[in-house]
Amino acid sequence: MSVIRGRAWLFGDNVDTDVILPGKYLVLTDPNELAKHALEGLVQDFYKKISKGDIIVAGKNFGCGSSREHAPIALKYAGVGAVVAESFSRIFFRNSINIGLPAVISKDARRTIKENEQISIHLEEGYILRESGEKIPVEGYPEFLLEILKDGGLLQNLKRKFAGMGGVSRTQP
Amino acid sequence: MEPVWEAGYGGPDLHRRNFGTPCLVRGDITRKNFIFALIPQLKRVGFPAHNVKIWWYSMGMTIAEKILARASGKSKVEPGEYIIGKVDLAMVHDLTGPLTLNVLKEVGYDRPWDPEKIVIILDHQVPANSTVTASLHKQLREYAGKYGTKFHDVGRQGVCHQILAESYVKPGMLVVGADSHTCTLGALGAFATGIGSTEMASVFLTGELWFRVPETIRFELKGTLKPGVSAKDIILYIIGKMGVDGALYCATEFTGEGVERLSVDGRLTLCNMAIEMGGKTGIVNPDVKTLQFTNTKNESQVLRSDKDAEYHKTMEVAVEDLIPQVALPHSVDNVKPVSEVEGVEADQVFIGSCTNGRLEDLEAAAKILKGRKVKAGTRLIVIPASPSIYMEAERRGYIRTFIEAGGVVCNPNCGPCLGGHMGILADGEVCVSTSNRNFIGRMGSPKSKVYLVSPETAAATAVEGKLTDPLRYVRG
Ligand code: SF4
């Protein structure tokens, strides 16, 4: 997994799925359309303001609320490279990794990193590197989660593993 | 006197823990080695025994940790650790199953890893109530037929969690279901949790899934319940105290006399609602009742929490003092004693669902309804959760009691629980229900209201036509 580099966008605790992607957009299916409403509840035109790879750095319980997979999808297609938070809601955490957006747990990131600071996340090594050269530890991922993230999500991961197996089988077992 | 030295034992984590004062011994060592290492250190500092604080870190595991450890082929796991678990049982139903099949279609491969371990159950809208439902059922029927997975078609259908409890789950299993109330099955000493439809596609193909080992919160239930008060009242009370996110991500383990005295039916009710406080699963350590219920002869797979297991936190609940509880609209943690809010007029009373559609629940309701009539202006809907419950209730005369009282008894399925079928509410209507969610619009119109109660309270409410404390009926 390559290093994720970008500017830090700071957010507080309990950023819920309704501000990440308001419920009224759940009817949209095109991820690029969803992206236009990412974090609309907190930052107007977030998708225009961010540069590809930028990193969200938040407090506790990021992604609490509904189980909508649309929320991490909107962030990913808006260009967010990763979300770092002190903790995540369980379902957001699973969804995020399964759709290929790294959700990174770090107890100290939110307290130390400054708004707009250029940072890089070294997932395999388990730290965030600050401009000053300071390293902030993050909770490491095991090999298999890195693999899902490398493939860009669970669906791609499955496709890679099973695509060569002869299409949807039509025969009786 | 404040300690001036500290010593710690157990757990690889210990190196990272902050001791407030100089530390004599620390690290991942056995108890015996700890004593050997500590004595010379104490000698060195002159034996100020009263000034030493010893941190005794537990080496034991909770039942949830043990099941995940075994499923991942490890001897020990700790909360926060990631594992890949081998799944023993995977379940989808008529609403989530078709989504899983669509994902498989996109992957381009759909042969299941082990058809014997996949259970497909029609339960949400059965028999089909629309052409849309009918085609979902058809899709699942064809997949099950093609690969020979377990399949519960119309006639063998029932609320999915009850069917799993009756016929498939054994203590020690790792169970995943594409339904949030899969946590119900933890009552049988399994680790059971709900997952998404995409993840389920991955389980269908590989038989494995990744998990982050959860912290466990323990609920120590003290004493035994008064007559007329049941498992539903315990769990409503707990959720009221914990809030809807009080157990977020955690496994919730129920221990103590209050659980031991409960029947398996009651334990299933407890674990069913773990998700309503954010829990990843509810779980009960298996005992004789569990082994009997699951027909477990070989005890080698049965796991239980160690005495020295480490819990995230423990909450004590004095069960003997408990009185009937109700969750008011529109949140499951909006809980009050029934006696404080009696008198709310009920248009409909629903007794059923994966929370309270079991034999014991029907028995409790039938006892109150026997020889009485449902109040004019109130509709009573009773839905046994499975065919075997239905038959036994019929044999014992409960079904007759409900019909004589003026209720309607439907075939096993989810019914009005999620507002899809058999008893949907109109604008402004109130339903007093034994199910598990009272969110806005859950049982039909967004302008309707749902009150969650025990079967006893539901039955007393049906008789009086308004929310009623059942204790009066039980005593009288
Ligand atoms: S009875 Fe209700 S809560 Fe239980 S599985 Fe059916 S719809 Fe879900």
pTM strictly above 0.90: no
Which H helix or E strand runs over B160? helix B160-167
**Topology of domain B60-322, per CATH?**
Aconitase; domain 3 (3.30.499)
**Average of pLDDT values for B125-142?**
94
Task: Give the pLDDT confidence of B342-399 residue by residue, as tens digits.
Answer: 999 999 999 999 999 999 999 999 999 999 999 999 999 999 999 999 999 999 999 9
Ligand 1 mean position to B159 CA, how many Å?
Answer: 7
Residue A135 maps to a domain:
yes
- The shares of helix, strand and coil residues in chain B, as percent rounded to the nearest 5, are 40, 20, 40
Please list every residue in chain B whose beta carbon sits closer than 8 Å to the beta carbon of residue A173: 111, 115, 146-148
**Across A28-42, A153-167, B324-338, least confident range:** A153-167
Residue A167 maps to a domain:
no
**Average of pLDDT values for B273-284?**
94
Task: Give the pLDDT confidence of B62-76 residue by residue, as tens digits.
Answer: 999 999 999 999 888
Residue A155 maps to a domain:
yes
Phi, psi of B206 (to 5 degrees): -110, -20
**CATH number, position A103:** 3.20.19.10
Sequence-distant (≥ 6) Cβ neighbours of residue B434 within 8 angstroms: B232, B350, B351, B352, B353, B355, B356, B357, B361, B452, B453, B454, B455, B458
**Average of pLDDT values for B431-459?**
95
Q: What percent of chain B has pLDDT over 90?
A: 78
Reported ipTM: the value is 0.79
Check CB contact of A162 with chain B, cutoff 8 Å.
yes
Confidence of residue A171 (pLDDT cuts 50, 70, 90): very low
**Across A87-96, B19-28, B204-213, B445-454, least confident range:** B19-28
Q: Is B358 helix (H, G, I), strand (E, B) or coil?
A: coil
Residue B57 has pLDDT above 60, yes or no: no
Residues of chain B with CATH 3.30.499.10: 60-322, 328-475
Task: Give the pLDDT confidence of B202-254 residue by residue, as tens digits.
Answer: 999 999 999 999 999 999 999 999 999 999 999 999 999 999 888 988 999 99
Our CA angle for B16, B22, B24, nearest 5°, is 80
Q: Does domain B328-475 have CATH number 3.30.499.10?
A: yes
Our CA angle for B127, B131, B135, nearest 5°, is 80
Asked if B248's CB is within 8 angstroms of A61's CB, the reply is: yes
Query: What is the domain range of residue A78?
Result: 4-162
Nearest to B89 by CA among B196, B200, B180, B181: B200
Residue A169 maps to a domain:
no
Q: Residue with structure tokens 């993050």?
A: A138
Contacting A with CB below 8 Å, chain B residues are: 80, 82, 84, 103-111, 115, 146-148, 195-196, 198-199, 201-202, 205-206, 210, 212, 245, 248-249, 278, 280
